[in-house]
Chains A and B, each alone.
Chain A
Amino acid sequence: MTKYARYLCADLAAVLALAMPPLVTLAHADEADLRAQGFVSQRLTTSSGKNNFFGDTRGKLSADYTEVGAGVSWRPHSQWLLSGQAIYRRGGESEENRVETDYLYAAYTPLESEAGHLTLMLGKIKVPYGLYNDMRDTPMTRPGILAPQSIYPDSLRQLTQSATGIHMEAERALGGDSVTLRLSQIKPNVRGDNTFWTLLGDRSLFAGTLYTRENEAFSGQLAYDHDGGRLRALISHAQGTARYRPGSADVWNGGRLDFRFSALSMQWNGERVSLSGEWTRNSFHNRFDSTSIPNLDAQNTGNAWYLQAQWRFAPRWEALLRHDVFLSDKNDPDGIAYAADPVNAGKPAWSRFARGWTLGLRYRMDKHWLLAGEAHRAHGTLWLPPADNLSNGQWVPGNTSPDWNLFLLQTTYQF
């Protein structure tokens, strides 16, 4: 048995041992108010050049990435829903290799009718942003094996996917159309290694840690669904502040990073074809104080967009074609000015953008099994997870390949 297979078996056994007893009990209680759901998903990944993607994937076929999720929802009263899901991910240095709470909340729906509904939620929720942010953590609800990395980079997943807070959803029906407003006050998670590397970039310059306070992050979304979702248009916004706690012998006394993400999304759903397009504007403002070196005050605005076609060419089969563009700085789309600046010596232009194509195929055997394959061709490394690509413990963007391929196969079982 290989090392990976041993790890995988041990990991899966641990999670399933935790999840199985309540799930077996619930398996036949299908019209009751208590429901259970879950999934197990395994990837095979290989990548080219010097680039690793969630595991040791360069130049070899890696089974490093596993996702397992299990949860329950309980409706103790017609106006109340209690919902929770635990999730476990294993994926190279980028994932924390432990069971975490994906979501856990109480939802109260005082108003619900043909005219619309009002729901309030309290707890850890999936943050609604764009078409896919609240659905990107389960293989069945992602468009493809990977969600569009330009807008939903897995390297920033821990920051953006779910957060503790309060949440309101109000929906008004207008004939066959509907307007939905979602507002959240959240406390994002900034603990992850990839979040640190992506937001700050250099451990030798930033020895401390990031944290968030209560009441400093908000998100909102306004969605219009025409004719039951045949045409969808969404505006989303999320903003927050991460604070810097200096490490020992740190040159910085403290600091804060303000981030603001805005997205416009459109989707058309035909019988065989769905077309989606999203555009985002991501701005960052970093301020750090020091008594030994000059204060840092840097602002940066980037853009990302993608266009995607999904084609259901036969029952149970779906093909996917996507073009993705992700820019760190909208005024320097090729990173040339950045690379030419002496301050950024050794940091290549290609670390400031990523442009790429995705071709995918998926086969939904039945309601339980999903098989998928996907090929990516990327120019630039902006969505490459730093934690899997460190050189002697440091993120050195120059030690990556600018033009690279990524191939993924995935099997998922859900219940």
Chain B
Amino acid sequence: MIHRALFPAVLAALTLFTARLAWGVDLIVHPGVAETEISRPLARLIFGARVTRWEDGSAIRIFVLPDESPLHQEMTKGILDLYPYQLRNAWDRAIYTGIGQAPVQVANEAEMRKRVASVPGAIGYIGRVLNNDKVRALPVR
């Protein structure tokens, strides 16, 4: 009986744990950005510095956390389905061949919230969007 009761509990805990790994990060944008959702391929293109403007023609400003930050790794793998080194290689290539501009790196989640809320056209990511946040979540469809 104990086993029967434990099994669903363990399963639920595991599900929650894996869900946290896969979805414990939200893309966020400046409240003035018109887009209400984004596809995974477009998110890849934006964070890879290959799409540089929103649909209305305004410039996209990308903010990222340091490569080794757990949230950055979660966003890269969970949302973009890429490895962090692939993004770093894409940015190095963009910067040093001059074909693009790299994202702006911020130190932590608090700074990410602040910068994305204040820079028009900004996109970034945080662990969870709160009710009183000045940034807006951008769901990945």
Q: Which residues of A contact B (CB under 8 A)?
A: 30-31, 33, 35, 37, 39, 69, 71, 73, 75, 78, 81, 83-85, 103, 105, 107, 109, 112-114, 117, 119, 126, 134-135, 137-138, 140-141, 171, 173, 175-176, 227-229, 269, 271, 312, 315-316, 367
Contacts and interface: CB of A to CB of B under 8 A. Distances in A.
Nearest to A71: B98
A126 B58 CA distance: 28
B134 interface: no
Contacts of A109: 52
A78 B55 contact: no
A114 B89 contact: no
B128 interface: no
A78 B61 CA distance: 12
Given A31-B119, A103-B97, A228 B51 contact: no
A367 B67 contact: yes
Contacts of A84: 98
What band does the interface of chain B fall in when counting residues whose beta carbon is under 8 Å from A? Answer: 35 or more
B45 interface: yes
Interface string B76-104: 00001111011001101101111111101
Main secondary structure on A side of the interface with B:
strand
B139 interface: no
B98 A85 contact: yes
Nearest to B98: A83
Interface of B: 39-42, 44-45, 48, 50-53, 55, 57-59, 61, 66-68, 80-83, 85-86, 89-90, 92-93, 95-102, 104-105, 115, 119, 122
A367 B82 contact: no
B51 A117 contact: yes
Contacts of B105: 367
A107 B97 CA distance: 12
Nearest to B59: A78
A332 B102 CA distance: 47
A141 B89 contact: yes
B93 A141 contact: yes
B119 A112 contact: no
CB-based closest 5 A-B pairs: A83-B98, A138-B96, A114-B42, A30-B104, A78-B53
B78 to A, nearest CB: 14
Nearest to B53: A78
Contacts of B44: 176, 228
Given A78-B57, A135-B97, A367-B105, A175 B41 contact: yes
13 contacts: A31-B61, A31-B104, A35-B95, A35-B101, A39-B96, A75-B101, A78-B52, A78-B58, A78-B59, A81-B98, A141-B97, A176-B81, A228-B44
A293 B89 CA distance: 53
Nearest to A269: B86
B98 A135 contact: no
B83 A103 contact: no
B67 to A, nearest CB: 7
B68 A73 contact: no
Given A173-B41, A312-B85, 16 more contacts: A31-B119, A35-B101, A37-B96, A39-B96, A73-B100, A75-B59, A78-B53, A103-B98, A112-B51, A113-B55, A137-B96, A141-B96, A171-B50, A176-B44, A228-B48, A228-B82
Nearest to A177: B41
A233 to B, nearest CB: 16
A33 B98 contact: no
Contact of B99 (A37, A78, A107, A173): A107
A277 to B, nearest CB: 18
Contact of B92 (A81, A141, A229): A141
Given A138-B96, A228-B80, A114 B59 contact: no
A367 B59 CA distance: 25
B45 A173 contact: yes
B95 A37 contact: yes
A335 to B, nearest CB: 36
B50 A117 contact: yes
A105 B39 CA distance: 32
Contacts of B98: 71, 73, 81, 83-85, 103, 105, 126
A85 B40 CA distance: 33
A114 B83 contact: no
Given A31-B61, A78-B57, A269-B86, A85 B45 contact: no
A369 to B, nearest CB: 13
Given A31-B115, A31-B119, A78-B53, A176 B96 contact: no
